[in-house]
Amino acid sequence: MRSLLPLLLALACATPPVPKTEPPSILLVTLGGTPAHRLGPYGSATAQTPTWDALAASGITFNRAYTTTPQTLPSLTSIHTGQVPPTHGVRNDGDFVLSEKSKTLAEQLAGAGYLTAAFTSTFTTDSRWGLDQGFAFYGDTHTDPEPLLLHRRFADEVIDEALETLPALTGPTFVWVHLDDTNPPRFFSVKPDAEPVDATVTYQDAQAGRLINAWRVLHPDGIVVLTADHGEGSGYLLEDAMLRVPLFLSGPGLQAGETVDDPVSIVDVAPTLLAMAGLPKSLAHQGADLRSGGTSLPYSESLAGQYALGLAPIYAWTDADGRFVQGGWGAYYPAVGPLVQDQSTGTALDVQATTLAHLRTNQGEIAGQHAVLSSAERGLLRNLNALYGDAAALPGEIDPRDAELRIARVALAAVRQEQGMLMRTDELLDSAIADLPTAWGARLRKAIVANERGYPMVTILSLESMWAERPSTGVAVLLAETHEQRLANDQAAHWWNLALERNPASIEIAAGLLRTQASAEQWSVYVASQPADLVRVQLLQAELHLREDRPHDALQLARVAAAQMPWSARARWIEGEALWEMGHVNPAIDALYRAVELSPWHAHYRLQLGSHLREVARYDHALRVLAPIARRLPDNPTVIDNFEGSRQGWIDARKKVRRPGTGYTTVKRGIKP
């Protein structure tokens, strides 16, 4: 055998290899709806922000950092992609999802060996919008609120989850934490005279302090970045209160306590972090390294007015001297110190408009991937003040700066709708539409309100009229949903088909078509063609198991889906039907009650629940559940037969002597006849 001694001696005498330096771990913290002026380092004397004060002292503070849009999802997408909204395609909350073709910061870092984890707090950061791309762990699992209101987690819960997970992340790590306690503000009485927003900012600062202290222990040479998705005020406008956001950068090699007064953009975050990690800038990035000055002419936009009210879209750029805004008309707003004023200098110059046109021409605008929303999801967005509408709405001519009272009416209508004041909602929407006849989004909302008021045919006629004007995915989906709720599956399938032609990648639309038209074999083929780890695909698989008489499998997947999508009436319905098939009567009826609460006008859910209540002789409960759809669908024989059968059962039961302790008992869940 050949001796290994010479080789070992040679290795011993060789020059020892230079140890490879591990790239720095990165913590990105984003705040929801928090303008720069609310934080201590930017001059606030009312909020207590020792965490942000210390972060500013340890690194660089950017006094004039600007978001790309005053909406949560598009601006966070800009942070993660390093692109402006026209380029990444997400132009408004609730109307778009991030395409899988986009490459996020998490994907780039994961490709370089980073462990990636995210901990988010609100429905607009849910994985269904695409922000989970590149994250090995994405913490958007929310508890099931009772009643379901804001669907958000407060900062303490988010930070607790992050602190539990961080020690298990070894090696270079990228962690994103999003806190959203200010929209609307969560009030904490830290100071007797503090207003809710300042008190909430103080609370957020304290919670983030727990995270950053733990991060410094685990990653003493790590990078910490803090910024916000947008400021506060009207998301229809491009004023400083909405666009100027905090931005701190702390890490190795940075000058402690440095301040930068030049304008920069949130699209600079991704290329800066890649550069600090020793990785090349992506060719798709439109931002620049903040350490070298960042973006010299930050771009911002808002299309919320176009999608919701048929107003003109507004675009802007900001430089050291102020901001140019172009909508129905253009104007320049001067800067005084770090603040851009709300009063313009007058008529815009041609050179300013030309600069904006040049910026927009070079953005490589794409058609974004449209979102498909359920009725429960639309309600969640309304509760979060998200300005969703319809991405098919054409741009109008009226500038949002000239329509603030009309905008306020629509905002109030959304509040009244969630409060159940539907007649007042109708009046407010009528007023807005009278002033803004092109208000496409407001007309959609009015059609939805008509259905909630018990006039589904008014809804259908209104939507068909809108479809004739301008075919859109949103209109087709609402028509399909309304017909399906009325048990008119043939008509529903027609509109699901039209919607699928316009948005063939949508799992939600495909699911509607499968429910109303497809055979079990077609259903199985479609499910097999989709990624098995997507929760919406798992929900389809659960319903397929139910059709195949596999209730145990259906129940398991339905509960997984319900945990991740607590607003999903379909998940609760599948859970209830699976439990019923397994003989668990009480839990089954409770789950079906939950489905009806989440989708109160879906006749199929009420019909199934009413039928099961009849089977266990709870005729009074069955009558309460069935009465609303009996009034809405007086010509449907299935509905009327079940209602009359329940009424007759109740009459017959009253004639009999009841035995104490028999029959099914459950808590009445607030279902109104």
Residue 330 has φ and ψ, to the nearest 5°, of -115, 150
Query: Do 443 and 310 contact (CB within 8 A), yes or no?
Result: no
**Mean model confidence pLDDT for the chain:** 87
pLDDT in tens, 375-410: 778 777 777 766 677 888 889 899 999 988 888 888
User: Per-residue confidence at 347, pLDDT binned at 50, 70, 90?
Assistant: low
Instruction: Write the DSSP string, 427-462.
Output: HHHHHHHHH-TT-HHHHHHHHHHHHHTT-HHHHHHH
pLDDT surpasses 60 at 189: no
pLDDT at site 522: 87
Question: Are the CB atoms for 73 and 90 separated by under 8 Å?
Answer: yes
Give CA separation, 60 vs 32, 249, 260, in Å. 21, 5, 7
- Select the more confidently predicted residue: 374 or 399: 399
Q: In the structure, what pLDDT confidence band is assigned to residue 12 with cuts at 50, 70 and 90? A: very low
For residue 13, name the pLDDT band (cuts at 50, 70, 90): very low
Would the pTM count as exceeding 0.85? yes
Burial class (CB in 10 A: 0-12, 13-18, 19+), 268: buried
* Calculated CA dihedral for residues 342, 347, 349, 354, nearest 10 degrees: 70
Taking a C-beta distance cutoff of 8 angstroms, is the pair 59, 248 a contact? yes
**Residue 310, both tokens:** 């048929």
Tokens 């030049």 locate to 262
Confidence of residue 671 (pLDDT cuts 50, 70, 90): very low
Report the distance separating Cα 364 and Cα 89, nearest Å: 10
Question: Sign of dihedral through CA atoms 657, 661, 664, 668?
Answer: positive
* Residues 486-512 pLDDT 10s: 999 999 999 999 999 988 888 889 999
pLDDT over 60 at 90, yes or no: yes
How high is the pLDDT of residue 574?
A: 96
The whole-angstrom distance between residue 225's C-alpha and the CA centroid of its chain comes to 22
SS3 sequence of 214-231: HHHHHCCCCEEEEEECCC
H-helix or E-strand containing 115? strand 115-119
pLDDT for position 660? 53
pLDDT of residue 548 exceeding 50: yes
Section 284-311 average pLDDT: 93
Is the model's pLDDT at 144 over the cut of 50?
Answer: no
Segment among 58-72, 193-207, 277-291 with least mean pLDDT: 193-207
Q: Which of 17-31, 79-93, 155-169, 244-258 has the lowest mean pLDDT?
A: 17-31
Q: Which residue's structure tokens are 């509960």?
A: 559
- Residue 193 burial class via C-beta count within 10 angstroms: exposed 0-12, middle 13-18, buried 19 and up: exposed
- Please work out, in degrees rounded to the nearest 5, the angle formed at the alpha carbon of residue 189 by the alpha carbons of 183 and 192: 120
Query: Residue 603 has what pLDDT?
Result: 94
CA distance 282 to 271: 7
- pLDDT for the residue numbered 17: 45
Half-sphere exposure of 466 (CA within 13 A, CB side): 30
Closest CA to 90 of 368, 503, 361, 441: 368
DSSP three-state, residue 2: coil
Question: What's the average model confidence in pLDDT over 639-647?
Answer: 93
190, pLDDT greater than 50: no
Residue ranges of E strands in 518-585: none
pLDDT tens digit sequence for 327-342 = 999 999 999 999 999 8
Identify the pLDDT of residue 368.
87
* Residue in 491, 416, 425, 450 with CA at minimum distance from that of residue 601: 450
d(CA 436, CA 25) in angstroms, rounded, equals: 51
Alpha-carbon gap, residue 82 to 266, rounded angstroms: 8
Structure tokens at 526: 């479609």
- Least Cα distance to 605 among 583, 626, 587 occurs for 626
Q: Which two tokens stand for residue 451?
A: 């259905």
**Residue 538 to residues 526, 595, 603, Cα–Cα distance (Å):** 12, 18, 24
Query: CA-to-CA distance for 398 and 396, rounded, in angstroms?
Result: 6
- Residue 420 C-alpha from the chain's centroid: 23
262 with 293: CB under 8 angstroms? Answer: yes
Kindly report, residue by residue over 415-445, the tens digit of the pLDDT.
888 778 989 989 988 888 888 777 888 888 8
State the pLDDT confidence band at 357, using cuts at 50, 70 and 90. very high
| Tokens of residue 30, six digits | 């984003």
User: Residue 431: what pLDDT?
Assistant: 87
Residue 590 has a CB neighbour count (10 Å cut-off) of: 17
Query: Could you tell me the two tokens for 374?
Result: 């359920």
Report H helices in 171-287: 196-218, 240-243, 269-276
Question: Could you give the strand order of the β-sheet that contains 299-302, starting from the edge strand earlier in sequence?
Answer: 299-302, 314-319, 322-326, 330-336, 339-340
- DSSP-derived pairing of the beta strands 264-265 and 65-66: parallel
DSSP string, 634-673: TT-HHHHHHHHHHHHHHHHHHHSPPPTT-S----------
List the strands of the sheet with 258-260, edge to edge: 137-139, 115-119, 173-179, 26-31, 223-228, 247-250, 60-62, 258-260
Q: What is the pLDDT of residue 20?
A: 58
pLDDT band at 251 (very low <50, low <70, confident <90, very high): very high
Tell which residue, 371, 374, 376, 385, has the closest CA to residue 413: 385
Distance CA 52, CA 48 (A): 9
Ramachandran quadrant class, 30 (left: phi over 0; alpha: psi -120 to 50; beta: rest): beta
Q: Which residue has the higher pLDDT, 392 or 110?
A: 110
Which of 15-19, 208-212, 517-521, 532-536 has the weakest average pLDDT? 15-19
- What per-residue confidence (pLDDT) applies to 656? 67
> For 182, which DSSP code?
B
User: From residue 97, how far is each of 4, 125, 368, 390, 540 by CA, in Å?
Assistant: 60, 11, 8, 13, 20
